[in-house]
Structure 1
Amino acid sequence: MTNRLELSGVIAKDPKRSQSPAGVPHCHFVLEHRSYQREADLPRQVYCYINVVSSGKGLQVLTQDLAVGVHTKVAGFISYQTGRNGIGKLVLHADHIEIICSGD
């Protein structure tokens, strides 16, 4: 089955970096996407926030320059996660991160 998502947008919340007990580095951030798409031959403004996590030493270098306002393209798979509060959400597990513009 296919599970692949590519999305561009702006970093909306400061990235939070952590390390698992096994020593795997993680970076969590929120991506805000806004664009115009066509649906039923009509223009439509689309907007979403999505939680993103990148894991592993290979992506650690790429996440060092992430900050609020940075235009970024991410790609990876999506997964459903339930938080400690019992509320579920979709999370994009990024295996590709590309900074489009630093936002300065």
Structure 2
Amino acid sequence: MNRMVLSAQLVERGAVRYTPAGLPACDFGLKHESQVTEAGIPRKVSLEMRAVAIGDLAQRLMKLEIGSTGTFAGFLTHQRNGRGTVLHVTEFE
């Protein structure tokens, strides 16, 4: 199963674009920082990743202020240019 849930901060947002099917799409950047336990040892985790939302969710995320935090859920795939990974957001709280 390919499902990811990430508590993150919105740190970057591109302009609205449209898919070939005419749906609105929004590319954005997310930043996550937390502490987890690995092998019984606390570890600080920090990451930034690219994300995209399509359709009604894209329009909703366009209204979100930079710096806002939330829970982003969706699936992972490669970027259009084949370099890196992108989270396709299908749910947001």
Q: Report the CA distance between 1:82 and its aligned residue.
A: 4.7
The question of 1:16 aligning with 2:11 is answered no
Is the Cα contact below 8 Å between 2:26 and 2:62 reproduced in 1? no
Structure 2: which 5+ runs fail to align? none
Residue 97 of structure 1 aligns with which residue? 92
Q: Which moved more, 1:87-96 or 1:36-45?
A: 87-96
What amino acid maps onto 2:91 in structure 1?
A: H
Distance, in Å, in 2 between the alignment partners of 1:61 and 1:82 is 21
Aligned length: 93
List runs of 5+ in structure 1 lacking aligned partners: 99-104
Amino acid of the residue matched to residue 9 of structure 1? A
> What's the secondary structure of 1:62's corresponding residue?
helix
Is the aligned partner of 1:78 residue 2:73?
A: no
Question: CA-atom RMSD, angstroms?
Answer: 1.5
Runs (4 or more) in structure 1 with deviation over 2 Å come to none
Please report how far the alpha carbon of residue 10 of structure 1 lies from its aligned counterpart in structure 2 after TM superposition.
0.8
Give the TM-score of the pair, scaled to structure 2: 0.89
1:15 Cα deviation from its structure 2 partner? 3.9
The answer (yes or no) to whether the contact 1:37–1:43 under 8 Å persists in 2 is yes
Q: Percent identity?
A: 33
